[in-house]
Every structure is written in structure tokens, then in C-alpha cells.
């Protein structure tokens, strides 16, 4: 199985400041045929299902605020919230859909400092 | 508007079978991957498996011997059966639909249904 490891487990950021979450895959999730990394990012608020933010590592889902962005470098993936808002308090998960069984990171909890 | 809704018992006894149904509205089950994902308390999301609209299935090997996912197109529903449950199967169970026919990431999710395994 591909292991997705996130860091940090939690972080506290001041309103308006940048939040950066990392995710590392234990093996490549890149498919050369379409030049894509098979990684998605989700936001999960308390008592709610996950909400898709980013797919193909860096493509923002329609309707997601542009303060959310994804980037990739080899097997390292990053979710950045450029200016943290109060409504962004949540747990964030990375997800690889490159090979079965599909797997998720352990989650990163984002709070307001 | 696509909506998914899980239903089923919230309490299952050890060694028995957990059965859940996901009812789909606003979309046809004649396309896409239809999946079950669970989240044990305080743990990461775990992919259980999917059924493709063609009827082909794929299961997490960690559960493969105990899990069956089926699709009822006439009712626009798909179901999960997990046999021989233990306390480790206590979790919130989500049904979800893939974004499209080729890529298994999830935009559409049910609200989730908590299932406790206890005598």
C-alpha cells in the first residue's frame, strides 16, 4: 500500500497568515501517460464529510476559494492556505488515487492562533 | 443536485454482519465509481472499496475476505456488507461517488452514518 504521511499533525496560524501542510507519498503517484500526480486534498469540518479542495495535486475544485492551492515536487505535496480565515478551521487530508487500495494521510488539524 | 444518503443500523453485535445502503439522488448509477469509505474514531479515512457502474468491484485487501459491495441500478442504490465484525469496525461509514468515470477522487459524499460494534 502507498503510505501518505502528513506533517505537521496540527498547526495554529493567526488569521490572515499562511498555513502550509505537507504530504509525502511512500512511492511515486505520477502517471507518465498523462503527466499527472494522483493526489487530492480534502477539508473536513467537525461532524461533516470531507470536502474536495484540490485534485491532480494542484487543480482547484470549482467553487473553492483561491486562497487554497496545491503544489507538487516528486513525492512531496503541499496544500497552502494563503490567508487563513476563521472558516478554514478543520482537519485536512491528502489522498492518493494512483493505486489500490487508495489511501489517505493521517490528517492535519488547523486552528486559529 | 447530486445527493447521497447512507442508511442502516447504528449498532451491530460482534461476529454479525454490518449492512448499509446508500441511496443516490440527482445522478444515475449508470456511470461513475461508487465507493464506501470509513473513519474509525480519531483515525484516518480508510478506503473500503468501490463498485464501478459496470458491476466490477475492488476491495481493500485488509477487508477483502469480509466485504461485498453491490449495486441496484433500478433503485439507484448501492450497498455494503461487512461480515464477522469486531470492535475494530466501529467507525463512521461514508458512501461517495467519483468525480468522473476514470478518476477515483471524491466530490460527492454522504453525510456519514456512525456504526458501533458492541454486544
User: How far is Cα B28 from Cα B48, in angstroms, rounded to an integer?
Assistant: 22
Please list every residue in chain B whose beta carbon sits closer than 8 Å to the beta carbon of residue A103: 47
Which chain B residue is nearest to residue A91, measuring alpha carbons?
B44
Which tens digits make up the pLDDT trace of A9-50?
999 999 999 999 999 999 999 999 999 999 999 999 999 999
Which tens digits make up the pLDDT trace of B30-86?
889 999 999 999 999 999 999 999 999 999 999 979 999 999 999 999 999 999 999
User: How far is Cα A43 from Cα B67, in angstroms, rounded to an integer?
Assistant: 27
Which chain A residue is nearest to residue B107, measuring alpha carbons?
A52
Neighbouring CB atoms inside 10 A of B91's CB total 22
Q: Of A38, A48, A34, nearest to A95 (Cα)?
A: A38
CB A107 to CB B60 under 8 A?
A: no
Interface test with B, best of A102, A103, A106 (most B CBs within 10 A): A102
CB A93 to CB B45 under 8 A?
A: yes
E strand intervals along chain A: 4-7, 10-13, 19-25, 30-31, 36-37, 39-44, 51-55, 59-60, 68-73, 76-81, 90-96, 103-104, 108-112
Selecting from A48, A101, A105 the residue whose C-beta is nearest the C-beta of B44 gives A105
pLDDT of residue B51: 96
Average pLDDT along chain A = 97
User: How far is Cα B110 from Cα B107, in angstroms, rounded to an integer?
Assistant: 10
Amino acid at each position: 500500500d502507498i503510505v501518505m504521511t502528513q506533517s505537521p499533525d496540527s498547526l495554529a496560524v493567526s488569521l490572515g497568515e499562511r498555513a502550509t501542510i505537507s504530504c509525502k507519498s511512500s512511492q511515486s503517484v505520477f502517471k507518465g501517460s498523462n503527466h499527472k500526480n494522483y493526489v487530492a486534498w480534502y477539508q473536513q469540518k467537525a461532524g461533516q464529510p470531507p470536502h474536495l479542495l484540490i485534485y491532480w495535486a494542484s487543480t482547484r475544485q470549482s467553487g473553492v476559494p483561491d486562497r487554497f492551492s496545491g503544489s507538487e515536487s516528486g513525492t512531496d505535496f503541499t496544500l497552502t492556505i494563503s490567508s487563513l480565515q476563521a472558516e478554514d478551521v478543520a482537519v485536512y487530508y491528502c489522498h492518493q488515487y494512483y493505486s489500490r487500495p487508495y489511501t489517505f494521510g493521517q490528517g492535519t488539524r488547523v486552528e486559529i492562533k | 443536485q447530486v445527493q447521497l444518503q447512507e442508511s442502516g443500523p447504528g449498532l451491530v453485535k460482534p461476529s454479525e454482519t454490518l449492512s448499509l445502503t446508500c441511496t443516490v439522488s440527482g445522478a444515475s448509477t449508470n456511470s461513475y465509481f461508487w465507493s464506501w469509505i470509513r473513519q474509525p474514531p480519531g483515525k484516518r479515512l480508510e478506503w473500503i472499496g468501490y463498485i464501478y457502474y459496470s458491476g466490477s468491484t475492488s476491495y481493500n485487501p485488509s477487508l477483502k475476505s469480509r466485504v461485498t459491495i453491490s449495486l441496484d441500478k433500478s433503485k439507484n442504490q448501492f450497498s455494503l456488507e461487512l461480515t464477522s465484525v469486531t470492535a475494530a469496525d466501529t467507525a463512521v461509514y461514508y458512501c461517495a461517488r467519483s468525480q468522473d468515470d476514470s478518476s477515483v477522487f471524491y466530490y460527492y459524499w454522504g453525510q456519514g452514518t456512525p456504526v458501533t460494534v458492541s454486544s
